[in-house]
Amino acid sequence: MDVSSTSKATFQPSFWRDRSVLVTGATGLVGGWLVKRLLEAEADVICLIRDWTPNAEIVRCGDIDRVTVVRGDICDQECLERVLGEHEVSTVMHLAAQTIVGIANRNPVSTFEANIGGTWKLMEACRRSPKVEQVVVASSDKAYGDAKVLPYTEDTPLAGMHPYDVSKSCGDLIAQSYANTYDLPVCVTRCGNFYGGGDLNWNRIIPGTIRSVLRDEAPVIRSDGSFVRDYFYVEDGATAYMHLAEQMAERPELRGEAFNLSTEIQVSVLELVDQVLETMGSALQPKVLGEASNEIQHQYLDASKAREMLSWKPDFALNEGLARTIQWYQNYFENHQRQSPAIARVSRSTAAA
């Protein structure tokens, strides 16, 4: 099954056709799927790319050849202003960020520069670009920090305490400040933990577990397995961003609003790993390290505001999203095995499960 060809995605063709759309973070997990959907909608897509990532979904599937690529850094404001001006960008999808908690703990300055500095520089560039009509900024449920009352609603204070969480709190507030002070047409999204095909950060629990099963190795859980998270399928995220931009065009009064996007299901890490193992028909047992630090114990979102104000709901339940994700990785490793068996090292018996 080619999961990219069986999307439930819906969009307004008349809105997107030939629309100039800037996507930052296009080589990331959500960015790759968002670009795919924008191309389906016949948008004119411009991607700001800093590092060349040959295994990124946008490269792997050939979408890189169908977009305009600008090599540059999200922290380079002159570059941002040039891109917005020369390409007459109408809609900005800001996904660029350093997204790994462990890297943020080890390298806080580079995380702050990308996630905070990159956000204010892009907001300022958009403020100075009269053609920009919508700006969607991807924040995170981590922006809320370790709240005492769950689920998070959009009224929960943004109170990150550790480097990654703080970077998302700050970027989120900066985006809102440009909407409230300068009337910049900005909306913020706060999503749970994204998962889906194309995520090659193997220290994340879902791709790491799937790869372990395909290699017939025990999956590794860095924490004690009790951490509870809100898992959000990447194709739902991509279509939600497009839907939000469409709604912003119809309803200018949405500027400055933040929206939680979620399936509103609480799942512990151990439960999630067990579900992946069951779906893949594996009898492997996870290895629990109990080594995670500076991570929030319990997080999940209330998405009622998005349901009511945007008439939005996710298309994929967790079991559907996991099945599509597993299929993507099976295809990915089978292709790698044919190209380079020494690299892929995929077990024939488990790959067929």
pLDDT digits (tens, 9 = 90+) for 51-64: 999 989 999 999 99
Tens digit of each residue's pLDDT (9 = 90 or more) over 189-244: 999 999 999 999 898 999 999 999 999 999 999 899 999 999 999 999 999 999 99
Comparing CA positions, the residue from 273, 278, 262, 161 lying closest to residue 223 is 273
- The residue among 37 and 295 whose pLDDT is bigger is 37
Distance between CA atoms of residues 89 and 129, nearest Å: 9
- Which of 176-185, 198-207, 336-345 has the weakest average pLDDT? 336-345
pLDDT category at 68 given cuts 50, 70, 90 is: very high
pLDDT category at 90 given cuts 50, 70, 90 is: very high
Comparing CA positions, the residue from 22, 64, 63, 13 lying closest to residue 42 is 13
| Three-class SS of 134-164 | EEEEECCHHHHCCCCCCCECCCCCCCCCCHH
- Taking the CA atoms of 339, 341, 342 and 348 in sequence, report the sign of the dihedral they define: positive
The CA distances from residue 194 to 50, 185, 234, 235, 338, in Å, are 22, 25, 6, 9, 29
pLDDT category at 337 given cuts 50, 70, 90 is: confident
pLDDT category at 48 given cuts 50, 70, 90 is: very high
**Dihedral in degrees, nearest 10, Cα atoms 228, 171, 19, 16:** 30
Distance between CA atoms of residues 56 and 118, nearest Å: 21
Tens digit of each residue's pLDDT (9 = 90 or more) over 129-138: 999 999 999 9
DSSP letter (8 states) at residue 285: -
> To the nearest whole percent, how much of the chain has pLDDT over 90?
85
Identify the three-state secondary structure at position 32: helix
Distance of CA 159 to the CA centre of its chain: 21
Distance between CA atoms of residues 71 and 68, nearest Å: 10
Inter-residue contact 349 to 336 (CB < 8 Å): no
Tokens, residue 113 = 């520069």
- Quote the pLDDT of residue 9: 62
Distance between CA atoms of residues 155 and 254, nearest Å: 16
- Quote the pLDDT of residue 7: 62
What DSSP string describes 87-143?
TT--EEEE------HHHHHH-HHHHHIIIIIHHHHHHHHHHT-TT--EEEEE--GGG
Angle (deg, nearest 10), helices 118-127 and 77-86: 40
Residues annotated catalytic, as ranges: 164
pLDDT category at 312 given cuts 50, 70, 90 is: very high
Read off the amino acid at residue 328. Answer: W
Q: Which pTM was predicted?
A: 0.91
The CA distances from residue 153 to 142, 144, 194, 277, in Å, are 13, 9, 18, 32
Count CB atoms within 10 A of the CB of residue 65. 9
Greatest extent of the chain over all pairs of C-alpha atoms, in Å: 59
278: pLDDT strictly greater than 80: yes
Distance between CA atoms of residues 198 and 30, nearest Å: 9
- Quote the pLDDT of residue 350: 37
